[in-house]
Amino acid sequence: MGLSCRNLHFTFPSRTGDVSALEDVSLDILDNEFVCIVGPSGCGKTTLLKLMAGLLRPTAGEIDFGTAKNGRPRNALAFQEHGLFPWMSVLDNVAFGLRMQGASRKASHERAAAFIDQVGLTRFTRSYPHELSVGMRQRASIARAFVADPEVLLMDEPFGSLDALTKLVLQEELLRIWSEHRKLVVYITHDIEEAVLLGDRVLVMSGRPGRILEGIPIPLPRPRDLLDREQPEIVKIKTRIWKLLESEVRMIARRAT
Amino acid sequence: MKPNGDSPQRPWLRFVAPALALVGLAVWELQARRGAISTLFFPAPSVILSTVVEMSRGGKLATDVGVTVLQLLAGFVLGGSAGLVLGMFMGWSQTARRILDPFVAAAHPVPKISTFPLILLIFGIGIFSRTLVVAISAFFPMLLNTMAGVRQISPIYYEVAKNYGATSGQVFTRVVLPGSLPLVLTGARLALNRALSITIAVELLMGENGLGTLIWYSWETLRVEDLYATILVVSVLGIGFRWAIALATERLTPWQVERSA
């Protein structure tokens, strides 16, 4: 199936005229591939993700989902702000996607409960999001994304607001669940190390208007040890990405002053 | 600890207010009995209480309470549901909001009771005119709170619902309704409050029955105990409604972080 973007452009109107958020973005992602996108803040990463999710329409260019005929495949988004509905219990939140696909209340609750077990929230099935910690909410959000069995999983800095320890644990869990339920994942982050540790490939984006500067394959075997982040291979790739981004970030800083 | 949360320390603090009230009532009772204050204006609390008991004999008070409650509920249901529907619509549609908002802004500050004579003139003296003015008074708090309730729903919830394939109808039932419910209930509380005030005012002006009429009648016949007793009954009604809404809020919106009443 895969996912390919052909010459995507996205401009949006603002008070000072049209702003170009994405410029000529082309990329191909394979089935079951875990692709991370890094780039400076405001580079249009989230815009790209929303285009892939169908929440925005590109100004020009097209997104092709390969064999997925009649339109787009099922996709699921996971956000930094988790986006759990405050008025639903964890169970109803996780079951939401299945319910929207037309599954019965009972069937979707059963499947949801299994995934809630997988992310270790069994005790909190009936809790409301406000009763959970930030990390627990993010787990519920991941369970919700996986339970809907999407063909494409789109994640927008899902762990951006977590402390380092919680982040590490959740990254491990994400990789574990992903290895069981392989999907095409597009994972946005501004954390270079995270991108290298998680991805099969890292796409580096420029500052606004966002373009793809380079796609860097990560030839590390899986399953990966997320604690072993100082091996020379990883350090080498991180340095390479940082060098690509450095000039971009400096340029943005100059423009701002 | 949360900034406005009540501290669990010094639990005896909650008994201070009732104790103060009891002391106040005791002083009032004592002074009235001693004749230190005029019982013409300030009859003793015990006298007021026994007046309530006396009035409730024979069913006249129950009838008046019934008339007032029915009047107020009729107005509340009518005006409240209109406010709910329009508020949902105006919260949902920017177009509707931009067209209708100036009218709301112009009409809202008008003291609703001031339109009563006009309504009487147009629709005649009777239950319809009374219900209409109560409905108008309940309409605005419901409208404004519902609209605010829909508008404060974060766009992220719409995106999530859409992303998981929800239809517009499902977005409405799964996102808009529950998302706005807390403020809708606030609107209902304010609307009930307003409806009670306006019902009493309307009855004072031209009721045939009801608590407002009773208050006015007591004044005309200078029965001060009855006056106090009826005000007490009206207050109990107000507290009752407030309590009912609080209960409904607890039941219907269990996800709201519990706040102290």
Q: What is the 3-state secondary structure (H, E, C) of chain B?
A: CCCCCCCCCCHHHHHHHHHHHHHHHHHHHHHHHHCCCCCCCCCCHHHHHHHHHHHHHHHHHHHHHHHHHHHHHHHHHHHHHHHHHHHHHHHHCHHHHHHHHHHHHHHCCCCHHHHHHHHHHHHCCCHHHHHHHHHHHHHHHHHHHHHHHHHCCCHHHHHHHHHCCCCHHHHHHHHHHHHHHHHHHHHHHHHHHHHHHHHHHHHHHHCCCCHHHHHHHHHHCCCHHHHHHHHHHHHHHHHHHHHHHHHHHHHHCCCCCCCCC
Minimum-distance CB partner of B170 among A83, A100, A129: A100
The model's confidence at residue A207, banded by pLDDT at 50, 70 and 90, is confident
Q: Which residues of B touch A75 (CB under 8 A)?
A: 163
Question: What pLDDT score does A1 carry?
Answer: 64
B172 lies within 8 A of chain A by CB: no
Q: Are B170 and A85 an interchain contact pair (Cβ–Cβ within 8 Å)?
A: no
Residue of A75, A85, A149, A153 to mutate for B, most B C-beta atoms under 10 A: A85
What contacts A50, CB < 8 A, 6 or more positions away?
A56, B159
CA distance A128 to chain B (A): 6
Inter-CA distances, A131 with A122, A134, B24, B194, Å: 14, 10, 42, 35
Q: Which residue has the higher pLDDT, A34 or A222?
A: A34
- The three-state secondary structure class of A77 is strand
Mean pLDDT across the stretch A7-20?
Answer: 89
Q: Are A79 and B161 an interchain contact pair (Cβ–Cβ within 8 Å)?
A: no
Q: Are A96 and B164 an interchain contact pair (Cβ–Cβ within 8 Å)?
A: yes
Residue of B162, B164, B170, B175 to mutate for A, most A C-beta atoms under 10 A: B164
Q: Which residue has the higher pLDDT, A161 or B61?
A: B61
Which residue ranges of chain B lie beneath pLDDT 70?
1-7, 257-261
Mean pLDDT across the stretch A57-68?
Answer: 80
A127 → chain B, closest CA residue: B255
Question: Of the given ranges (A68-77, A119-128, B88-97), which has the lowest mean pLDDT?
Answer: A68-77
B4 lies within 8 A of chain A by CB: no
Mean pLDDT across the stretch A63-89?
Answer: 74
Question: What pLDDT score does B259 carry?
Answer: 45
Condensed to tens digits (0 to 9), the pLDDT of residues A235-251 reads 999 999 999 988 888 87
Q: Which residues of B touch A86 (CB under 8 A)?
A: 255
Minimum-distance CB partner of A77 among B160, B166, B174: B160
Question: What pLDDT score does A76 carry?
Answer: 74
Q: Which residues of A touch B255 (CB under 8 A)?
A: 86-88, 128-130
Computed over every residue of chain A, the mean pLDDT equals: 88
Residue of A100, A127, A137, A142 to mutate for B, most B C-beta atoms under 10 A: A100
CA distance B55 to chain A (A): 46
B157 → chain A, closest CA residue: A83
Residue of B2, B163, B258 to mutate for A, most A C-beta atoms under 10 A: B163
Question: What pLDDT score does A254 carry?
Answer: 80
